[in-house]
Structure formats: structure tokens, C-alpha cells
Amino acid sequence: MVDLKGQYEPIKEQVNRTIQEVIDTTAFINGPEVHGFQKDLEDYLNVKHVIPCANGTDALQIAMMGLGLKPGDEVITADFTFAATVEVIALLQLTPVLVDVDPVDFNIDIEAVKKAITPKTKAIVPVHLFGQVANMDALLQLAEEHNLFVIEDNAQAIGADYKHKDGSTSKTGTIGHVGSTSFFPSKNLGCYGDGGAIFTNDDALAHTIRGIVNHGMYERYHHDVVGVNSRLDSIQAAVLRAKLPHLDNYNARRRAAALKYTEHLKDHPKVITPNIVSGDPNAHVFHQYTLRLQGVDRDALVKHLNANDIPCGVYYPIPLHKQKAYADARYNEDDFTITNQLVKEVISLPMHSELDNEQIEYIVTKILEFID
């Protein structure tokens, strides 16, 4: 699905040198590379504050802690996403409210969000799924009308641009009150282990969050709030700092590969290729290239591709509202028709910055030979 070795080769010397420097200086925790990466990412995203942390799941949890959400507060998020999003809501004893997604872009459905808002709702968590920006203008408007926080789960879309109604653009993750991302190795900007970060333009919130990630300390050995220990280590920061200048190029190559796949597959009646809904070409950075199959035995296709040495993935096979951990009597199946359908239809093809035309053509040939 990814080619981390192929991505490493051209930057090997620089990455090795910077890792060696961290080892030589033994500044493994909170070293200068962490601060340097934070500044570089603030500049890249054009955001006032980046707070590095240990992984993308922590980033989401800490963002919610920073906003002061309290047990019983309702938090609306998408039914069709990775479990981390709903997991941290539940862990903090907030009440997850799962809603359906849009069949065109797979992102949280605005009408469903509207329906789900109650006096207890405190936040909405859009996930920019598979690398495509959610409808942020509509969500921000709802948030303003109902006095809610918007927390962007940007784990799959780092580097994407959102074009606002007024024509201006922002990087995803910096549009809501707070955003989070993951630097898991296979993400669009991945390190060589675990890593994550929180973004905000709110000075007070950034200050609160900086204490939370460090055991609730704002002054050494004074613990003002209950915090966590969540750090990006210096070696991971050094790797990320070496890779960040390549992110736009990596994303451009993913998009080019996606367009190639689409060119080959778009006219097939049994295949729905991914839509780019925004007018901004960089609104989708293709963390995944996900097809919808119509009248195809999806699981047999997965087996056929695997038998031909083609990896593929089903993201996600089970809606969150049907997972044992998150099932709830208040959910009504009629409210999840799109997610219930998508989980049966979707298949994600290999997608990364090293994918070449020959590989794409081989993959496409094997798909078409099976579904025709």
C-alpha cells in the first residue's frame, strides 16, 4: 500500500545525518530538532501554534482536554472514520454522537450534523477523510450559530488546502478552533515511529495545551491541571524536519497517481472513482485512493488482487456505530444509510508518492480483468 523504502532512498543521506546529529548530541527529548520542526511546521501551515505530541490519537484527546470539554458533553463526529476519532471522545467520558457521511466525498454530512445538534452538543469533529477537506464553511457556520467548537482530525490530509467561500485558502487543520494530525509512517507526512501534533491560532488554548502535554505543568513541578505525557521525540522530529520540505511534492505525486487511476477507471459502469468536490485542486491530497464498487464481489476482488501481489485495503469495513465499543441504543439504522452502504462497496488501492505508471497500469489491468 505504501513504499516507505522508495521514499527514503532519495533523502537517505540527509535523514541519516540528522538522526546521527541527535544521537551525537544525546538531546533525545525536547531537543532543538523538536523546536525547529515545530517552527517549520508553523510556517508551512501558516498557523500560530503547533504543539508536537506522541501520536495522532493523543493529539485529538489533548485537543479535547484543552477545550475543557466535560463528561456528558456531546461531540458529533462521522460514523465512517478510523476508530481513534470516537475512541478519545469516549475515553474522556464525553458522549460520542455518530452521524452519517456524504456519499460524494465520504465526509461528515452537514444535514446529519444539523439534525444531531442538541443543547448538550459542545463540539463537532470533522475528519478530512482519505485526504479530502470536509465542508468547513458550513461546519464553521453551524458552530457559530450553536456556540460549538470545531476540532479537525487532519491525520489524513496534512498539506491540503481549503478554499473558503470568499476565495481565500487555509491549510487543513488550521481552519477550526483546533486541529490534530498524525505522523504515523504511512500518513502523507510520516516519521519513522510514532508522532503527532496539535494546531491552533488561539494563544490561550495553545498555552493550556502545552501544559497538558507535559503533565499539566506550566511551571516546573507545579501541576495545575491533570495532564498527560505526550512527546514527539527528537529523532522523529529530525526525520519530519527533513521530510517537510518534500511534503508538497509527495502530495502532488499522490494526486498525479490518483488522476492516472481515475483516467483508467472512470468510465467503467461498476466503478465510482473518487470525486474532488472543491474547486481547489489541492483540496484532496489522496491519503487513500478509494473506489466504490457497484455490483462487484468486493471481497473476491480483494483476494484476486492479493493473489496478483497487489495489496489493497478496506477502509473501513464496519461502521463505528456497529462496533461493540460504540454501539448505542439511541442509534437508528435509518440514520446511517450511506455509511452502511459504503462499508460494503469501498476498496482502497495502493497509494503513495513512489507509485509509477507501470504499477498503476498493472493494478488497473488486474481490476478490470476481474470485474468485466
Residues engaged in binding ligand PLP (CB under 6 A): 55-57, 81-82, 84-85, 127, 153, 155-156, 182, 184, 194, 196
Decide whether 288 or 360 has the Cβ nearer to ligand PLP: 288
Decide whether 100 or 153 has the Cβ nearer to ligand PLP: 153
Nearest alpha-carbon partner for 173 in 196, 203, 190: 196
Buried b (16+ CB within 10 A) or exposed e, 191-220: bbebbbbbbbbeeebbebbbbbbbebbeee
Residue nearest to ligand PLP (CB): 56
Residue 342 CB, nearest distance to ligand PLP (Å)?
A: 15
Distance CA 283, CA 227 (A): 34
Residue 195 CB, nearest distance to ligand PLP (Å)?
A: 7
Decide whether 197 or 305 has the Cβ nearer to ligand PLP: 197
Residue 283 CB, nearest distance to ligand PLP (Å)?
A: 17
Nearest alpha-carbon partner for 105 in 57, 160, 159, 145: 160
Distance CA 328, CA 358 (A): 47
Within 10 angstroms of residue 334's Cβ, the number of other Cβ atoms is 8
User: How do strand 346-349 and strand 74-78 relate by DSSP bridges?
Assistant: unpaired
Residue 329 CB, nearest distance to ligand PLP (Å)?
A: 26
Contact, 99 vs 109, CB < 8 A?
A: yes
Decide whether 18 or 188 has the Cβ nearer to ligand PLP: 188
Decide whether 60 or 296 has the Cβ nearer to ligand PLP: 60
Residue 83 CB, nearest distance to ligand PLP (Å)?
A: 8
Grid coordinates belonging to 87: 475512541
Residue 196 CB, nearest distance to ligand PLP (Å)?
A: 5
Decide whether 320 or 367 has the Cβ nearer to ligand PLP: 320
Burial of 138 (0-12, 13-18, 19+ CB in 10 A): middle
